[in-house]
Amino acid sequence: MSLLSVRNLVAGYGSAPVLHGVSLDVPEGSFVAVIGANTAGKSTLLRAISGLLKNVSGQIVFNGQEILGAPADRMAQLGIAHVPEGRHVFPKMTVQENLLLGMYATHKALGSRETQSRLNRIYTLFPRLQERRRQYAGTLSGGEQQMVALGRALVLAPKLLMLDEPSHGLAPRIVEELHSTLADIHRTGQTILLIEQNTQLALSVADRAFVLQSGMIVLQGASEDLLKDSRVRTAYLGI
């Protein structure tokens, strides 16, 4: 069963659309990646799903409910967490304050026990954040800020976690750690939709992938099959 179903999505920022009839499914419990070049429209896809764009048409069904045109704050309440490209932590707030803000996005009052339980889950996943919980987020390294951004989304206990270019700007060693972290998150049963220009990373962690080119899906299939596809290897892996 598809947790997220996108059909014939057309979206953009002005009169000229960026996405041209994109369709894809994200089954519950799956790890789906969308890969493509820098101008393919990957971020536009997530922004359209999240309700951040108004110039959209088509159909977006989440958990059995049509959400096309719903306001962005409604998405968090429905169970969609969007980690944008560039992390966007609150630099003059502590790590823990950033995480706590994530819980407020659903507008649900959580008791102190549930709040602490959610924080503990994040600190178990990212022990470094527990060490730095009282440190201002703006003083952290890029990799640590990415942990904060991921943690802030996960404290929502989302049904769907959407990640936009999480490896962008990170050192190769940190990208390897990110690979392991995403796999760990998925093993908990978390459904993930990953947008990523790092094709090797995306196809090594996702179950299934879509190739977006000039705003259109041009290839799709199991990640292991796309890793062997000569078109993908030539265009995105440099092989």
Burial of 238 (0-12, 13-18, 19+ CB in 10 A): exposed
Task: Enumerate residue ranges in the chain where pLDDT < 50.
Answer: none
- Residue 150: per-residue pLDDT: 94
CB 33, CB 209: distance < 8 Å: yes
- Residue 176: per-residue pLDDT: 87
- Residue 107: per-residue pLDDT: 57
**% of the chain at pLDDT higher than 90:** 74
The b-or-e profile of 104-120 (16+ CB within 10 A means b, else e) is ebbeeebeeeeeeebbe
- Residue 15: per-residue pLDDT: 80
Q: Where are the domains of the chain?
A: 1-78+159-239, 80-157
- Residue 14: per-residue pLDDT: 82
Instruction: Give the Cα separation of 123 and 16 in Å (integer).
Output: 44
- Can you give the pTM of this predicted structure? 0.93
- Residue 168: per-residue pLDDT: 87
Domain 1-78+159-239 has CATH 3.60.9.10: no
